DNA sequence: TCCTGTCATACCCGGTAGGTATCACCGGGG
DNA sequence: CCCCGGTGATACCTACCGGGTATGACAGGA
């Protein structure tokens, strides 16, 4: 039983995502016929049919769905291996593994916590160099998985901690951010039901585990966009308390009574064995 | 930047484990020169030196250590993808993903819990078929990681749950198992200090995260061997309470007052999306 | 009916993975 | 001191196969 080659996985994932051999081939920078053949070989080698070739386009079989999921995970692990090895090698000469960590943080996250963490860690005895990688709303998971980051600050219930090790750092309540002029902005407190049901102010939606939940509200990609939309009176958002730091004059924050608390974790790949990482985690939990 | 190929990872892991090109090549079923060349190409492509070629044999650089770890993880993910896809495909014709789960259980584990779980699940409306895969003392993690199993019963603090999702099922205390004739066997209770310090009865050692801690006691591979060694008066073991089920007449069990409790979890790969698995987990937690 | 868009097939070429033979190097023993 | 055994590296060749181009088969729509 021969193992899958990275190339085959890359090809299959491309086809499975595009559901179209021509487009997938273009994305891969190759011609369509060799791609067709490669997928056929893959199916033959696995002894399993992965794609349903319909008269118009392609669709995934059950096994195809499985390979799409597992293949993505395997590809991420492979590119992570390459990236982390390259980084470890850069400073091989000083002896011992490279003293440098990439920390992924949501750009809109609490500046206060991050600053405290960096300061406390920098004060440690021969601390590693920390490279802060600011990312979008929900990108930390991917960054950790494919090795672009070594450690991340994540926020449940927005991020999923599945597959990572983590430690709890901070718990905070949530607030609603409304356009300053809106009637609800005058209230002392609000409930989730209050803000979910406003006809003229649909609730903003963010990616959760990579996809957007259906709903009438706008899809949020970054914090600036959200702030603008609220200021324009187009939406209302439910966000952690620390978001008060970036409110505009056109915004009003109202505490929510029944929103689930947001917990900030420090998270890292489960199999990590780096000493520098362990020290950073210890610093973080002792803040 | 081109991705690592599975083949290259396989080659490197073999060399890194053997620390010897000739033996590694033999293990891979190929000649030594192409292997040397492949590793050189890999180093050039990564722009990193992975192996220190000494006058006699080879040793790993820092980057090499990283690639060994990460590469193993990536290879596991890749073979898991192949295995799970093959299994999913076997019953593709009936439509929908294959209704079959492989459950890894330590052979020496509690029969009672397992039986209850299987019965309860079998009673469910159109339950999946469960294949029970009995394994050695600490093999569940590897089985889950490389796709030979879909779900496992694991026991903290013996197994590591790192990288898996899990739910707690059962907590139990620990007991010491002694040769029936030993003086300590007459005691009503014991402490960890009592059983750690017996000169003529060194404490048995099991693999923890794959390796054995150093110590005078015998290394335990399976439960039968342990039972025999205790009966022969060669060792004493600290085990979960449910191990009383397999005691011999030559054994005596004494409760421990200060041993950490053993928690049985049901665990599965973090990215799993199978419906059958979710149902099994729900059944297990509702036992 | 033909045209269009899809994936599969036929065929060719070049790069490269792998094999064999050999070298370069070092340590140890007669 | 020199040669031998064992290490990894180099040289060179071959054959396979990954990829390209051209074309086919097939179904839907005007």
CATH architecture of A6-86: Orthogonal Bundle (1.10)
Distance from CA of A114 to the nearest CA of B (A): 25
For residue A268, give Cα distances in angstroms to A46, A145, A168.
33, 9, 12
**What residue of A is the nearest CA neighbor of B70?**
A81
Q: Would you place residue B119 in the very low, low, confident or very high pLDDT band (cuts 50, 70, 90)?
A: very high
Give domain limits for chain B.
Answer: 6-87, 99-167+263-285, 174-260
Q: Would you place residue A97 in the very low, low, confident or very high pLDDT band (cuts 50, 70, 90)?
A: very low
Cβ contacts of B95 on chain A, cutoff 8 Å: 62
B6-87 matches B174-260 in fold: no
* pLDDT at residue A175 tops 90: yes
Task: Give residue B210's pLDDT.
Answer: 65
Task: Give residue B277's pLDDT.
Answer: 94
**Pairing assessment for the beta strands A262-269 and B51-53 based on DSSP bridges:** unpaired
* pLDDT at residue B95 tops 60: no
Q: Whole-angstrom Cα distance, residue A115 to residue A112?
A: 5
**Continuous segment of H or E residues that includes residue B37:** helix B32-46
Task: Give residue B198's pLDDT.
Answer: 82
Distance C9 C1' – B180 CA (angstroms):
76
Task: Give residue A109's pLDDT.
Answer: 81
State the residue for tokens 């319909």.
A54
Q: Which residue is nearest to nucleotide D7 (CA to C1')?
A: B56
Q: Whole-angstrom Cα distance, residue B139 to residue B103?
A: 12
| CB within 8 Å: A85 and B95 | no
* Fold classified for B6-87: Arc Repressor Mutant, subunit A (1.10.10)
Structure tokens of A19? 């559901």
Instruction: List A residues 234-263 in contact with B (Cβ-Cβ < 8 A).
Output: none
Cβ contacts of B70 on chain A, cutoff 8 Å: 77, 80-81, 84-85, 147, 271
Task: Give residue A164's pLDDT.
Answer: 94
Distance from CA of B66 to the nearest CA of A (A): 6
| CB within 8 Å: A6 and B10 | no
Question: CB atoms < 10 A from the CB of A119, how many?
Answer: 11
- Asked whether the beta carbons of B180 and B110 are under 8 A apart, the reply is no
Best to test chain A binding among B14, B52, B81 (most A CBs inside 10 Å):
B81
Indicate yes or no: strand D within 7 A of the C-beta of B37: yes
* Fold classified for B174-260: D-Maltodextrin-Binding Protein; domain 2 (3.40.190)
* pLDDT at residue A94 tops 50: no
Q: Model confidence over A60-70: pLDDT tens digits?
A: 988 999 999 99
Indicate yes or no: strand D within 7 A of the C-beta of A285: no
Mean pLDDT confidence for A92-98: 45
What number does CATH give the domain B99-167+263-285? 3.40.190.10
Mean pLDDT confidence for A273-287: 92
Q: Looking at the domain covering A99-172+263-285, what would its CATH class be?
A: alpha beta
Mean pLDDT confidence for B55-64: 85
Query: By the CB < 8 Å criterion, does B66 face chain A?
Result: yes
Q: Whole-angstrom Cα distance, residue B156 to residue B168?
A: 10
Q: Would you place residue B233 in the very low, low, confident or very high pLDDT band (cuts 50, 70, 90)?
A: confident
The winner for highest mean pLDDT among A197-206, A253-262, B229-238 is A253-262
* pLDDT at residue B96 tops 90: no
């Amino acid at each position: 039983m021969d193992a899958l080659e990275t190339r085959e996985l890359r090809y299959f994932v491309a086809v499975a995502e595009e559901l179209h051999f021509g487009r997938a081939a273009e994305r891969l920078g190759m011609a369509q016929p060799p791609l067709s053949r490669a997928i056929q070989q893959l199916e033959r080698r696995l002894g399993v049919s992965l794609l349903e070739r319909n008269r118009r386009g392609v669709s995934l079989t059950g096994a195809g769905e499985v390979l799409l999921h597992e293949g993505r995970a395997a590809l991420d692990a492979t590119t992570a291996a390459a990236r982390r090895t390259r980084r470890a090698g850069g400073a091989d000469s000083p002896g011992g593994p490279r003293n440098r960590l990439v920390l992924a943080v949501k750009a809109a996250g609490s500046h206060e916590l991050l600053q405290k963490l960096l300061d406390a860690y920098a004060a440690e005895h021969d601390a590693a160099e920390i490279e802060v990688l600011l990312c979008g709303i929900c990108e930390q998971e991917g960054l950790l998985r494919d090795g672009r980051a070594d450690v991340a600050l994540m926020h449940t219930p927005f991020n999923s901690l599945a597959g990572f090790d983590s430690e709890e750092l901070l718990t905070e309540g949530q607030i609603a951010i409304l356009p300053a002029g809106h009637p609800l902005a005058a209230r002392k407190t609000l409930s989730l039901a209050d803000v979910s049901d406003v006809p003229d102010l649909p609730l903003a939606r963010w990616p959760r585990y990579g996809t957007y939940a259906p709903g009438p509200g706008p899809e949020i990609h970054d914090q600036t966009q959200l702030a603008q939309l609220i200021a324009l009176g187009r939406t209302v958002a439910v966000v952690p308390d620390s978001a008060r730091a970036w409110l505009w004059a056109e915004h009003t924050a109202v505490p929510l009574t029944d929103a689930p608390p947001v917990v900030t974790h420090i998270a890292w790949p489960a199999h990590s064995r780096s000493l520098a990482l362990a020290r950073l985690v210890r610093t973080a939990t002792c803040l």
